[in-house]
Chains A and B, each alone.
Chain A
Amino acid sequence: MYKYDAIDRQLINQRVDQFRDQVRRWKAGELSDDEFRPLRLQNGLYIQRHAPMFRIAVPYGMLSSDQLRTLGQIAIKYDRGYGHFTTRHNLQLNWPKIEDVPDMMAELAKVEMHAIQTSGNCLRNITTDPFAGVAADEVIDPRPLAEILREWTTFHPEFAFLPRKFKIAISGTREDRAVTWFHDIGLHLQEQNGEVGFRVIVGGGLGRTPIRGQVVREFLPWQHILTYCEAILRVYNRAGRRDNAYKARIKILVQATGIEAFSQQVEAEWAYMKDGPATLTQAEFDRVAAHFGAPDYAKQDEVTLPADQAFAKWVERNTHPHKVPGYAAVTLSLKKHGIAPGDITSEQMAAVADLADQYSFGELRISHEQNIILADVKKSDLHEVWQKAKAAGLATPNIGLLTGIICCPGGDFCDLANAKSIPIANAIQARFDDLDYLFDIGEIDLNISGCMNACGHHHVGHIGVLGVDKNDSEFYQVTLGGRQGNDAKLGKVIGPSFAAEEMPDVVDKIIKVYIENRHADERFLDTLDRIGIDPFKNRVYEGRAHGKAKAAQQEAA
């Protein structure tokens, strides 16, 4: 993976000094709260419900074992011994002290990590496919260009105060695993007539106004990626709305302008920059790409995996095909039933770091589904890895299944949330705790967000759950049919929202309709697409009072 050189190290060390001075000036009253807010946000520091929250970047999801160990140690020393992985390659600590954050940043800098631009109205962390470099369906490894983009986004002088946050995702596989259709800029690496380039998608996003992105340029040779992004950002920085934070994302501008006119504006801007000094060179690409060379794979004989049923289930769900014969990518599940999805303790971080050292070249990745990937495990080691992962509580075989829920921290922690999300996830996990049943139900994405900001990606869950606030009570709206990938689309709301305690029953009814109607080889989504949402809706709302009847019931109660 990428190793810092002198300038990378120098910049993050100087960032620590800069933030230390900013905290000092804020404490001394030289910076007002309003003046300090964007500065701390651009260092990942929020003021939350109970305490500050500190969001650490894991650029494009890559971590070394040393880095993960350090994260675990920092969580013990400055927090409560655990952290939370988000859907955008970040680790969040929920209980630090503001005064400690400069020291935490200094410790992170020692292992080439930072919290730069993990929040605020600026260019955010670049995200990609957790199987980058090893996926069997990969066309081009996106990581060198993701690193080049990371450097370009870091302290960009023109785009540090955008109308709103700006997220870029990049994918290099046939099947999109980076939610590129729902980012401010989504990039698909592809080859055309022997030339490598990007399909550039713009104006996607989830949140309050979920919109699928649109293609702004079908093919852009890779050398032009920085100038082209500058052109998009300049158009957005100048024309994006600043009068209303809810309408300030680039997706609103693209909708208002129309993709054709927007594309013309970008092209006109780009014409001035094209082939200028910011055009990438082969030498720079090669310098960065050299950091992402294949590890020293051993030639493997065909292995027969032990015929242990529990192990076989784990292999089925928690391993992913690898482009090198004899290897597999392993997903360590952070979705153990009853635990907040995405949470990991410092002890577990240390255990995962050891697993990475012993079995996967000392590297690991964070997925947007909030799990950890060991990308390069020998198949002959799988049984050992499984046993050790199980001992660490990281081997729940539920990847891609109903209880492998994507979930934001919700109202238990987050200031923005309208409702709690973790207890809903845990209640659904408790209801579907039978592994045989879970496997029988098969592949299904259930995503939960505690508010319309959609950090839990509920819009693209096959079943999406959104926490809403009604008269100071928490309710949950359910959507069906959302999906990520090449055919990414938004789920449809099935009807009025539910109380928290109803949610396991609601999910249960949805699952029963699927099981009763499915054909032999159909996954949940296939059945849903074939029969439509009405049968699900009817079952869920069967016998449920609506409108006047409901009001009368409430009155009686």
Chain B
Amino acid sequence: MAQLIKNNSATVDTWQTLQLGEGETPETVALPAGDVIFPLAVWQARKAEIISCHKRIGLLIQPDERVEDIAADLEYFIVIAVNFPKFVDGRGYSTASLLRQRYAYQGELRAVGDVLHDQLFFMQRVGFDSYALKDGKNLVHAIEAGFKPFSDAYQASTSQPQPYFRRRA
């Protein structure tokens, strides 16, 4: 179980992520009770059913899935988890930027998968606010040093919408 960082501290993750077993399809998979993060395909296939029996809904987005497809549904989600299957797959940074900047998603935005110390700075800047640090990695050092290797940045981003050149004294 990955270690969750939220608000600069280690947190217990109360969410479970629905995984499709062999032979299961989004249309047929049993929907568990409790706080569940649903894969995007399951959400699309079973939206009405999920809404009727879940108060707290989470969504899992894979790198090749398009934010545009669920942009109208964002109000339903308390958490959106963006998966990084490999840390070098940078598509999730664009997913996060779009969710926050274009679609004004306000809920929890969680990086999951191959989430490592040295990417936390970038993830925070595009708008993530929780991080499922990969198992076996040093959580204390990540919290202490991973988010602030740099004290400022040139570009406009989710965490700082004004580029540095507009903030110069």
Residues of A bordering B, CB below 8 Å: 7, 10-11, 14-15, 17-18, 21-22, 25, 30-31, 35, 38-39, 121, 151-152, 154-162, 226, 234, 237-238, 242, 272, 276-278, 280-281, 283-284, 287
Check A278 against B94 for contact (C-beta < 8 Å): no
Residue among B94, B151, B152, B166 making CB contact with A158, cutoff 8 Å: B94
24 intermolecular pairs with C-beta atoms under 8 Å apart: A11-B153, A11-B154, A14-B149, A14-B151, A15-B149, A18-B149, A25-B117, A30-B137, A30-B138, A35-B118, A152-B154, A156-B155, A157-B121, A157-B153, A158-B93, A158-B94, A158-B97, A160-B93, A161-B89, A237-B93, A238-B94, A277-B156, A277-B161, A280-B165
The residues in B between 87 and 107 inclusive whose CB is less than 8 angstroms from any CB of A are: 87-91, 93-94, 97, 102
Q: Given contacts A158-B97, A238-B91, is CB(A281)–CB(B154) below 8 Å?
A: no
Check B151 against A10 for contact (C-beta < 8 Å): yes
Determine the distance from Cα of A378 to Cα of B114 in the docked complex, in whole angstroms: 58
- Please, which residues of chain A bring their CB within 8 A of the CB of B126? 157-158
- Please, which residues of chain A bring their CB within 8 A of the CB of B91? 237-238, 242
Which of B89, B93, B162, B168 gathers most chain A CB within 10 Å? B93
Check B149 against A157 for contact (C-beta < 8 Å): no
How many Å from the CB of B4 to the closest CB on chain A?
20
Check A11 against B156 for contact (C-beta < 8 Å): no
Q: Interface 1/0s, chain B 67-104, versus A by CB < 8 A?
A: 00000000000000000000111110110010000100
- Please, which residues of chain A bring their CB within 8 A of the CB of B164? 7, 151
How many Å from the CB of A298 to the closest CB on chain B?
35
How many Å from the CB of A503 to the closest CB on chain B?
39
How many Å from the CB of B84 to the closest CB on chain A?
9
Check B150 against A22 for contact (C-beta < 8 Å): no
Q: Nearest CB to that of A160 among chain B residues?
A: B122
- Please, which residues of chain A bring their CB within 8 A of the CB of B87? 35, 38, 161
| Known contacts A158-B90, A287-B168, then 16 further A-B pairs from the complex at CB < 8 Å, ordered by chain A residue | A14-B151, A17-B149, A22-B118, A25-B117, A31-B118, A35-B116, A121-B88, A152-B154, A155-B153, A155-B155, A156-B155, A158-B93, A158-B126, A234-B94, A242-B89, A287-B165
Check B154 against A39 for contact (C-beta < 8 Å): no
- Please, which residues of chain B bring their CB within 8 A of the CB of A281? 165-166
- Please, which residues of chain B bring their CB within 8 A of the CB of A242? 89, 91
| Contact residues of A: prevailing secondary structure | helix
Residues of B bordering A, CB below 8 Å: 87-91, 93-94, 97, 102, 116-119, 121-123, 125-126, 137-138, 145, 149-157, 161-166, 168
User: 8 closest pairs, A vs B, by CB?
Assistant: A161-B90, A157-B125, A284-B165, A18-B149, A157-B122, A151-B154, A158-B93, A278-B156
- Please, which residues of chain B bring their CB within 8 A of the CB of A25? 117
Determine the distance from Cα of A21 to Cα of B165 in the docked complex, in whole angstroms: 29
How many Å from the CB of B62 to the closest CB on chain A?
12
Check A155 against B90 for contact (C-beta < 8 Å): no
Q: Nearest CB to that of A288 among chain B residues?
A: B165
- Please, which residues of chain B bring their CB within 8 A of the CB of A226? 163
Check B163 against A277 for contact (C-beta < 8 Å): yes
- Please, which residues of chain A bring their CB within 8 A of the CB of B150? 10-11, 14-15, 18, 155
- Please, which residues of chain A bring their CB within 8 A of the CB of B119? 160-161
Check B152 against A7 for contact (C-beta < 8 Å): yes
Check A162 against B90 for contact (C-beta < 8 Å): yes
How many Å from the CB of B165 to the closest CB on chain A?
4
How many Å from the CB of B56 to the closest CB on chain A?
29
Check B155 against A276 for contact (C-beta < 8 Å): no
